[in-house]
Structure 1
Amino acid sequence: MTLLTLPVVLDMSGVQLSDAQFYQLCLNNPDVPLERDARGALIVMAPVGGNSGSYELELGADLTNWNRRTRLGTVFSSSTLFRLPNGGDRSPDAAWIEQSRWLALSLEDRQKFPPIAPDFVMELRSLTDSLELLRAKMQEYMDSGVRLGWLFNPQAQQVEIYRPGMPPEVRSLPTELSGESVLPGFLLAVEPFEEA
């Protein structure tokens, strides 16, 4: 028996799921985390291991603590799927949207898959993640209007910083990250990850 390696990308050429159909597909399969890229391919995501889950929560907690102090926006967990303007449906490991942009959405849009690109996204590469697919996902975020993104790569002890219209900046760990003008006053000291 061959073990399935995740994530799995399903080519949906010739099959066009509407936003409502994709939403229903996700509701009908709550134990199968799905994403959809801008071309419409379905992506079956893998669950993360203990180290990755812990790192993801710690990094998201730092973002949440900053937001609780500043009250400038809304923070989202990795369970939130965003309908991006370019057609993709993506779930960052953590995301943030400036408050006036979030409140401009209808209550119905906020309750479903929000049709908005976050201002900030964070992704953490787990052992099951393809770096190539994660980099493509980060570029998809930038193409959709995300203003700042961080891709943490524990295997290389690096973080890649994504900004619109610029090549990613790669930093070795340890480093300090700034939220720049997107997350004013947010500084994150990142130590090397235990796993390589």
Structure 2
Amino acid sequence: MTGIVFPIPFEPGVDMFEQMRHMTDDEFYFFCQENPDYKFERDANGNIKPMAQTGGESGIRNSELTTDLTIWNRKKRLGVVFDSSTGFNLPNGANRGPDAAWVSDAQWNQLTLEQRKKFPPLCPDFVVELLSESDTLKGTAEKMREYMDNGCRLAWMIDPKTEEVRIYRADGSVSIVHGFDNLLSGEDVLPDFSFALQVLR
């Protein structure tokens, strides 16, 4: 982790990475703020992983997803939309930053102003993970299961290479959509929302 700033004091003689695993939520938040050129995620065991910067094509696809979700939300006014730069402190202790996320007003309105300013301590109701060149199918699928185990109600894992989408639901079911000629539905989580996959080509 060359060039990364560590804003917390480390105890001499104790492994630095072991101490990092035990950072509090606030310490991890400030660690991320002190290193704005990087993006980090943290698993439930406290292990911190630097995330690769998004390439041009992935950035365009992320923008298309977030734009459509935001336009829908402006009309419905049922919650709030977040882009890929937002981290969430999940109930299991992990910190994740999905490519797009939506949180219902019911969840968002329970947070204090201070909680809203930092990484929100909740799991989004809806998340999207769009596989980029640096992502693996196995690793992303594990994150999708983690979202669902922590209270997510609907999640899409989109693979542009294969034009395949895995849809995860709160009842534990997973369905697969083949081909980007299809429309994805927000179902009962995002009423009347649909996304045309063809814009991701």
Aligned: 1:186 with 2:201: no
Q: Which residue of 2 aligns with 1:118?
A: 124
Distance in structure 1 (CA, Å) of the matches to 2:21 and 2:197: 42
TM-score by length of 1: 0.88
Q: Offset at 1:39? A: 2.2
Q: Offset at 1:15? A: 3.7
Aligned: 1:50 with 2:50: no
| Aligned-residue CA RMSD (Å) | 1.7
Identity, % of aligned pairs?
47
> What whole-Å deviation, never above 9, does each CA across 1:95-150 have from its counterpart, x for those lacking one?
00111320110000000000011100011101111121111111110011000000
TM-score by length of 2: 0.86
Aligned: 1:59 with 2:70: no
Structure 2: runs of 5+ lacking an equivalent: 1-16
If you compute each CA radius of gyration, which structure gives the higher value, 1 or 2? 2
Greater relative CO, 1 or 2 (CA 8 Å, sep 6+) = 1
Q: Contact 1:154–1:192 (CA<8 Å) still a contact in 2?
A: no
Structure 1: runs of 5+ lacking an equivalent: 1-10
Which SS does the other structure have where 2:156 is aligned?
A: strand
Which SS does the other structure have where 2:46 is aligned?
A: coil
Distance in structure 1 (CA, Å) of the matches to 2:18 and 2:74: 41
Q: Offset at 1:165? A: 4.1
Divergent runs of 4+, >3 A:
11-15
Distance in structure 1 (CA, Å) of the matches to 2:158 and 2:190: 18
Supply the AA of the counterpart residue of 2:146.
Answer: E
Q: Which residue of 2 aligns with 1:24?
A: 30
Q: Which residue of 2 aligns with 1:155?
A: 161
Which SS does the other structure have where 2:134 is aligned?
A: coil
Supply the AA of the counterpart residue of 1:19.
Answer: D
Q: Contact 1:157–1:193 (CA<8 Å) still a contact in 2?
A: no
Supply the AA of the counterpart residue of 2:72.
Answer: W
Q: Which residue of 2 aligns with 1:94?
A: 100
